[in-house]
Amino acid sequence: MDTKDTFMPYEAIDAGALLASLHAGVVVHGQGTEILYANPRALELLRLTANQALGKAAPDPDWRFLDEHKRLLPVDQYPVNRVLAGGEAVINQILGIVDSRSKDVTWVLANAYPERDPGGTIAKVVVSFIDITSEKQDIPFEQIVAYAGDPVVVTEADPVVGNGPRILYVNDAFTDLTGYTPEEVIGKTPHILQGEHTDPEARKRIRQALIDRVPICEQIVNYTKGGQEYWVVTVQTPTSF
């Protein structure tokens, strides 16, 4: 889709040429979330022409944003709406952008800031988007769904030393078993599941398998959020995302 259309300058700002040349996308929303200005990079990331974007409000169904777990993002969690509702800036929100023409996801890092009038009321919200698609480790959900009946934990491969690799994804069966929600464990390491009776030798074997990049099947004691022990057969399969 052509994103070279020109926009009426946002309040005829002198920095219009600078904004137009930025690698980051910049969108300015009005009080009703309607778009007042979008630079060419923002139009490209949002998959819109200038004519389509001008006056567009964030709740428009043509826009489809996803959260980090590829779930449809509720409208009230859009950066502009979070700023308008809470009055505070939104920092480093990860979003996926999709449309009906392609299943490919464009991942962006969004930041949103309020602009207030002299009376302190939010008059505009400025949202910036940085493309992080090449940096995001996209989880193969088709494979995960195939095993959805069993608890699934996806982690980084590295680092093996220190606290170990971070958890990137857990499925619903994991939450049902452990009591931990995705928000409570993503970004942490599997050590959160281990405790007093977790066999240190089993942990060493798992760690070595990670180092050697080889599959392993290991029986180990883990702990629920409430502190209850449970046995699991851990099947660890190295893969690249």
CA distances 74 to 109, 185, 220, 232, Å, are 17, 22, 38, 35
pLDDT in tens, the chain (241 residues): 444 444 444 444 444 444 454 578 889 999 999 988 888 888 888 887 787 777 665 545 556 888 887 888 898 999 999 999 999 999 889 999 887 667 788 999 999 999 999 999 999 999 999 998 887 755 555 555 545 567 878 887 666 666 668 888 888 888 889 999 988 998 888 889 999 999 989 888 888 887 877 777 778 899 999 999 998 877 666 654 4
Residue spans of the domains in the chain: they are 10-131, 141-236
Q: What is the dihedral of CA 50, 56, 58, 60, to 10 degrees?
A: -110
49 within 8 A of 3, measured Cβ to Cβ: yes
Alpha carbon 221 to chain centroid, angstroms: 31
CATH class held by domain 10-131: alpha beta
Is 3.30.450.20 the CATH classification of the domain at 141-236?
Answer: yes
CA distances 88 to 12, 57, 68, 96, Å, are 26, 20, 21, 22
pTM exceeds 0.85, yes or no: no
Token code pair at residue 194: 């281990």
Does residue 153 sit in helix, strand or coil? strand
Token code pair at residue 191: 């050590």
187: closest CA among 211, 210, 169?
169
Q: Same fold for the domain at 10-131 and the one at 141-236?
A: yes
Alpha carbon 225 to chain centroid, angstroms: 24
82: closest CA among 112, 102, 54, 46?
112
Does residue 114 sit in helix, strand or coil? strand
DSSP lists the bridge partners of residue 90 as: 112
Contacts with 6 (C-beta within 8 Å, 6 or more apart), sequence order: 50
Alpha carbon 187 to chain centroid, angstroms: 12
Contacts with 241 (C-beta within 8 Å, 6 or more apart), sequence order: 137, 138, 139, 140
6: closest CA among 33, 31, 43, 32?
43
